Structure 1
Amino acid sequence: MKRPAHPRAAEIIHEGRKAFVSGLVYAGILSAFINLLQLTVPLFMLQVHDRVVNSQSTDTLVMLIIVAVVGLGIYCILDYVRALTFQVMGSKLVRKLNLPVLEAAVSASVTKGVSQSAQAIRDLNDIRAFVTGNAISVPLEAIWSPIFLAVLFALHWLYGLVALISAAIILSLSLFSDFLTRRAMKRANESSMQNIGEISGSLRHSEAIEAMGMLPALAGRWRRSQLHTQDLLDATTRRGRALASFTRTCRYMMQIAVLSTGAILVIQQEVSAGSMVASSIIMGRMLLPFDSMVDGWRQWVLAMTAWSNVQDLLENQAPQRETKPTPPTQGELSIDRLVYAVPGSDVPILKGLSFSLSPGEVLGVIGPSAAGKSTLARLLIGVTKPTTGGVYLDGNNVYLWERGSFGDMVGYLPQSVSLLDGTIRDNIARMRDADPRLVLEAARLADVHDMIGRLPLGYDTRLGDSGYVLSGGQRQRIGLARAVYGRPRLVVLDEPNANLDADGERALIRAIEALRADGAIVILIAHRPSIMQIADKLMVLQDGKITQLGPRAAVVGAITPGEKTVGAVMTLRGKA
Structure 2
Amino acid sequence: MAVTGFFARSELAATLYAFRREFLIVGIFSMVANVLMLAPTLYMLQIYDRVLVSRSELTLLVVSLITLFFFAVMAFAEWSRSRLLVRAGVRLDAVLSTRVFNASFEANLSQSGAPAQRAFNDLTEVRQFLTGNGIFTFFDAPWAPIYIGVLFFLHPFLGWTSIGFALVQAALAWFGHRRTIVPSEQASKAALDVNLYLQGKLRNAEVVESMGMLSGLRERWAGRHAEYMERQGAAQGLTHRIGAISKWVRYCQQSLALAAGALLVIEGELTAGGMIAANVLMSRALAPIDQMVNTWRSFISARTAFLRLETLLQAHPERDPALSRVPPSGEMELRDVVASAPGRAEPILHGVSLHARPGSVTVVLGPSGSGKSTLARVLMGIWPDVSGEVLLDGHPLDGWSRAELGPHVGYLPQDIELFDGTIAENIARFAEVESDKVIAAARSAGLHDMILRFPKGYDTPMGEAGSLLSGGQRQRVGLARAIYGDPALIVLDEPNANLDDVGEAALMRAVRELRDKGRTVFLITHRPGAIAVADQLLVLRDGRVLCQGSRDAVLTWLQAQARPPAAAPAPAPAPSAAPPAPALG
Structure 1 length normalisation: TM-score?
A: 0.89
The offset of 1:63, in angstroms, is 0.9
SS at match of 1:384: coil
Aligned mates of 1:469, 1:67 — CA distance in 2: 75
SS at match of 1:476: helix
The equivalent residue for 1:230 is 229
The equivalent residue for 1:556 is 555
SS at match of 2:538: strand
The equivalent residue for 2:580 is none
Aligned mates of 2:117, 2:376 — CA distance in 1: 26
The equivalent residue for 1:303 is 302
The equivalent residue for 2:493 is 494
Aligned mates of 2:523, 2:203 — CA distance in 1: 30
Aligned mates of 2:441, 2:413 — CA distance in 1: 17
Matching of residues 197-346 of structure 1 within 5 Å: 197-318=196-317, 323-330=322-329, 332-342=331-341
The equivalent residue for 1:64 is 63
348-357 or 511-520, which deviates more: 348-357
1:174 maps to amino acid: A
2:305 maps to amino acid: A
SS at match of 2:398: coil
Aligned mates of 1:207, 1:153 — CA distance in 2: 72
The equivalent residue for 1:416 is 415
The equivalent residue for 1:163 is 162
Aligned mates of 1:538, 1:393 — CA distance in 2: 19
Aligned mates of 2:465, 2:194 — CA distance in 1: 26
The answer as to whether partners of 1:495 and 1:527 remain within 8 angstroms in 2 is yes
1:406 aligns with 2:398: no
Aligned mates of 1:187, 1:15 — CA distance in 2: 28
Aligned mates of 1:302, 1:174 — CA distance in 2: 16
| Cα separation, partners in 2 of 1:94 and 1:230, compared to 1, 3 Å | closer
1:121 maps to amino acid: F
| Cα separation, partners in 2 of 1:14 and 1:215, compared to 1, 3 Å | closer
The equivalent residue for 1:4 is none
Aligned mates of 1:166, 1:455 — CA distance in 2: 75
The equivalent residue for 1:51 is 50
1:54 maps to amino acid: V
Aligned mates of 1:126, 1:455 — CA distance in 2: 44
243-252 or 396-405, which deviates more: 243-252
Aligned mates of 1:515, 1:113 — CA distance in 2: 35
The equivalent residue for 2:387 is 388
| Cα separation, partners in 2 of 1:561 and 1:204, compared to 1, 3 Å | farther
2:506 maps to amino acid: A
| Cα separation, partners in 2 of 1:84 and 1:433, compared to 1, 3 Å | same
The offset of 1:20, in angstroms, is 3.5
Q: Which runs of 5+ in 1 are unaligned?
A: 1-8, 564-576
1:528 maps to amino acid: R
| Cα separation, partners in 2 of 1:227 and 1:16, compared to 1, 3 Å | closer
Q: Deviations over 1:397-452 (max 9, x none)?
A: 22221112211211110111112222222211111123222222222222212222
| Cα separation, partners in 2 of 1:235 and 1:124, compared to 1, 3 Å | closer
Q: Deviations over 1:504-555 (max 9, x none)?
A: 2121112111111111111000112223322222111112222222222332
2:279 maps to amino acid: S
The equivalent residue for 1:458 is 457
Aligned mates of 1:161, 1:404 — CA distance in 2: 65
Aligned mates of 1:454, 1:398 — CA distance in 2: 41
| Cα separation, partners in 2 of 1:464 and 1:110, compared to 1, 3 Å | farther
Matching of residues 141-156 of structure 1 within 5 Å: 141-156=140-155
The offset of 1:489, in angstroms, is 0.6
| Cα separation, partners in 2 of 1:464 and 1:290, compared to 1, 3 Å | farther
Q: Deviations over 1:245-299 (max 9, x none)?
A: 3321221121111111111211222111111111111111222211121443443
The equivalent residue for 1:370 is 369
The answer as to whether partners of 1:379 and 1:386 remain within 8 angstroms in 2 is no
| Cα separation, partners in 2 of 1:244 and 1:114, compared to 1, 3 Å | closer
The answer as to whether partners of 2:330 and 2:489 remain within 8 angstroms in 1 is no
Aligned mates of 1:196, 1:57 — CA distance in 2: 68
1:484 aligns with 2:476: no
| Cα separation, partners in 2 of 1:158 and 1:469, compared to 1, 3 Å | farther
SS at match of 2:306: helix
1:40 aligns with 2:34: no
SS at match of 1:288: helix
The answer as to whether partners of 2:99 and 2:318 remain within 8 angstroms in 1 is no
Aligned mates of 1:313, 1:541 — CA distance in 2: 35
The equivalent residue for 1:352 is 351
Structure 2 length normalisation: TM-score?
A: 0.87
The answer as to whether partners of 2:185 and 2:304 remain within 8 angstroms in 1 is no
1:538 maps to amino acid: L
The offset of 1:560, in angstroms, is 4.3
The offset of 1:482, in angstroms, is 0.9
The offset of 1:377, in angstroms, is 0.9
The offset of 1:225, in angstroms, is 4.5
Aligned mates of 2:188, 2:321 — CA distance in 1: 41
Aligned mates of 1:363, 1:142 — CA distance in 2: 69
2:160 maps to amino acid: L
SS at match of 1:365: strand
The answer as to whether partners of 2:360 and 2:535 remain within 8 angstroms in 1 is yes
The offset of 1:343, in angstroms, is 5.9
The offset of 1:215, in angstroms, is 3.0
The answer as to whether partners of 2:350 and 2:543 remain within 8 angstroms in 1 is yes
Q: Deviations over 1:67-116 (max 9, x none)?
A: 11211111111112211232233223222222223223212321336365
The offset of 1:319, in angstroms, is 7.9
SS at match of 2:410: strand
Aligned mates of 1:223, 1:312 — CA distance in 2: 31
The answer as to whether partners of 1:351 and 1:544 remain within 8 angstroms in 2 is yes
The equivalent residue for 2:535 is 536
Aligned mates of 1:344, 1:191 — CA distance in 2: 22
Aligned mates of 2:464, 2:36 — CA distance in 1: 54
2:214 maps to amino acid: L
Aligned mates of 1:450, 1:541 — CA distance in 2: 38
1:424 maps to amino acid: I
The offset of 1:51, in angstroms, is 1.4
Aligned mates of 1:198, 1:130 — CA distance in 2: 28
Q: Deviations over 1:375-395 (max 9, x none)?
A: 111111122356433222222
99-108 or 321-330, which deviates more: 321-330
Q: Deviations over 1:148-193 (max 9, x none)?
A: 1111111111221221111222222333344444444444444444
12-21 or 290-299, which deviates more: 12-21
Aligned mates of 2:362, 2:302 — CA distance in 1: 51
1:130 maps to amino acid: F
The answer as to whether partners of 1:421 and 1:462 remain within 8 angstroms in 2 is yes
523-532 or 207-216, which deviates more: 207-216
377-386 or 524-533, which deviates more: 377-386
204-213 or 437-446, which deviates more: 204-213
SS at match of 1:270: coil
2:35 maps to amino acid: L
The offset of 1:456, in angstroms, is 4.3
Aligned length: 555
SS at match of 2:327: coil
324-333 or 254-263, which deviates more: 324-333
Tell me how large the CA RMSD over aligned residues is: 2.7
461-470 or 429-438, which deviates more: 461-470
The equivalent residue for 1:429 is 428
The equivalent residue for 1:474 is 473
| Cα separation, partners in 2 of 1:289 and 1:511, compared to 1, 3 Å | same
Aligned mates of 2:228, 2:99 — CA distance in 1: 37
Q: Which runs of 5+ in 2 are unaligned?
A: 1-7, 563-585
Aligned mates of 2:93, 2:498 — CA distance in 1: 42
Give the share of equivalent positions with the same residue, in percent: 38
Aligned mates of 1:318, 1:469 — CA distance in 2: 41
